[in-house]
Amino acid sequence: MVEFNEIDFLYIEEGQVRIKIPTFEKVTARAPVFFNPVMELNRDLSVAALTTYQHQKDDDITICDAFGGSGIRGIRYAKEIEGVSLAVVNDLNPLAVELANENIQENGLSNVKACREDANLILRKCKGRFDVVDIDPFGTPAPYVESAAASIKAGGLICVTATDTSALCGTYRKPCIRKYSAKPLRNEYCHETGLRILAGFLSRTFSKYKKCLDFLFSHSTEHYMRLYALVGKGAKKTDESLENIGYIAHCPKCLNREVFKGMAPRISLNCPDCGEVWNVAGPLWCGEMQNSDFLSRMLDVVPDLEINQENEVTKLLEKCLAESGAPPTFYDVHAICRKLKISAPPMDGVMTMIKEGGYMVTRTHFNPNGLKTDAPLSFIEMVIASYK
């Protein structure tokens, strides 16, 4: 086993903290202590989200970072967010715990505690103690959601990251079925489908404990997906929430798609537009994924944060805010043009014509060529084909 004094380290500054991290050539779970510099944007967004949550709660909050690694996320929470009475940085790796303790001392914090425990065990043992549970593992979060659902209190905030996007997006279908009990789709909007599969899995798992989720902010960025949801409680609320579980049927031939709500809805075998057999994804979350009020409040707090990637954070939040209220899935204009065998017109021009037709339309953070709209596919094709 690698000893702590055998590891080479360097210091980095991120947000308001100075962190000691191991040197590495490649980000991998086999590193002596895990740290991923690419996730700085993720951590910046998390600080903004938890700051917004704390403002809304208007009280001190307790946080569990179940996969602490170097401790950077939990330490940033404790130092950069006012009203954090305790942040627990947990990791099963003893080297990570030792490094996290050094980083806590380096930043002069007394409201952070590093501990060595299995993520499921610490959540079970500390049932009802945490206002915020953050699950950010290397790979799938699926094995830890049950413990989070059982332990987090009503009114709490659950934050979940998934880096197994190849499964959620349908490159590897069987692992998605095995881990999330849902069938993915590999198509132009597979990242949104994957995010909705993750949300649906969370919602179904929490429902066992008569808890429901109000999704506040969600995004798919680079190699990972991230969700933030407020936890509600009560059988009636949970039953109503589960009405947002359903399926997306996609036609691979004409690109038509339909949403079918319900755990076991009646789904026609063929696309009504062209007769091709549907490809079906789900069960997944068909409801709202972006809360406009919460995102607006996040945008308000961003200028007050000391972060390196303020522009990237703001751009992503603005795109997600624009998506709030839009229907599930989006249309890839280039995919439609390939079907029509024509060149792609300017996106802004297409959007203007769709709006003039009386429909809502917005860009999406999932794809620079994607449009979210309530216009039917036939109208979108007419707009694209007639654009001059």
Given a contact cutoff of 8 angstroms between Cβ atoms, the answer to whether 203 and 213 are in contact is yes
- 268, 291, 323: which is the final residue of a domain? 323
For residue 224, give the 3-state DSSP assignment.
Answer: strand
Same domain, 61 and 154: yes
Q: What are phi and psi of 243, to 5 degrees?
A: -65, -15
**264 is in which domain, residue-wise?**
4-323
Sign for the CA dihedral angle at 207, 210, 211, 212 comes to: positive
Q: Which of 250, 249, 206 is nearest to 227 (CA)?
A: 206
52 and 195 inside one domain: yes
330 vs 375: CA distance, rounded Å: 11
The dihedral built from the CA positions of residue 27, 29, 32 and 35, taken in this order, carries a sign that is: positive
CA distance 234 to 212: 8
Please indicate, yes or no, whether residues 213 and 349 belong to a single structural domain of this protein.
Answer: no
19 class by beta-carbon count within 10 Å (0-12 exposed, 13-18 middle, 19+ buried): buried
In the prediction, which pLDDT does 240 show? Answer: 97
Q: Which two tokens stand for residue 117?
A: 């425990």
Which segments of the chain does DSSP mark as H helices, in order? 40-57, 72-80, 94-106, 119-125, 142-151, 165-168, 173-180, 190-207, 235-241, 292-301, 310-323, 333-340, 347-356, 377-386
Looking at the structure, do residues 121 and 212 belong to the same domain, yes or no? yes
Q: CATH number for the domain including 182?
A: 3.40.50.150
Q: Is 263 in the same domain as 218?
A: yes
Count of other CB atoms within 10 angstroms of residue 380: 22
Whether residue 43 contacts residue 51, with contact meaning beta carbons closer than 8 Å, is answered with no
Measure the CA–CA gap between 87 and 231, rounded to whole angstroms. Answer: 19
Strands 112-115 and 84-90: parallel
Same domain, 228 and 305: yes
Domain count, the chain: 2
DSSP 8-state class, residue 263: S
**pLDDT in tens for each of the 388 residues of the chain?**
555 555 677 898 999 999 998 876 665 556 667 667 789 999 999 999 999 999 999 999 999 999 999 999 999 999 999 999 999 999 999 999 999 999 999 999 999 999 999 999 999 999 999 999 999 998 999 999 999 999 999 999 999 999 999 999 999 999 999 999 999 999 999 999 999 999 999 999 999 999 999 999 999 998 999 999 999 999 999 999 999 999 999 999 999 999 999 999 999 999 999 999 999 999 999 999 999 999 999 999 999 999 989 999 999 999 999 999 999 999 999 999 999 999 999 999 999 999 999 999 999 999 999 999 999 999 999 999 998 6
SS3 content of the chain, % helix, strand, coil (to 5): 40, 25, 35
pLDDT of residue 2: 55
> b/e for 243-257, b at 16 or more Cβ within 10 A?
ebbbbbbbbeebbbb
Task: Tell me, yes or no, whether 265 and 374 share the same domain.
Answer: no
pLDDT in the model for residue 29: 57
Give per-residue burial for 310-348: e unless 16+ CB within 10 Å, then b.
Answer: eeebeebbebbbbbbebebbbbbbbbbbeeeeeebbeee
Q: Which residue has the tokens 């001059």?
A: 388
Shared domain check, 342 and 319: no
Q: Is 71 found in the same domain as 32?
A: yes
Cα(257)–Cα(195) distance, integer angstroms: 17
CATH of the domain at 342: 3.30.56.70
Phi, psi of 58 (to 5 degrees): 55, 45
In this structure, the answer to whether residues 136 and 250 fall within a common structural domain is yes
Vertex 105 angle, CA 101 and 108, to 5°: 140
Same-domain status, 75 and 131: yes
The answer on 340 and 194 residing in a single domain is: no
Last residue of a domain, one of 274, 306, 323: 323
Out of 323, 347, 362, a domain closes at 323
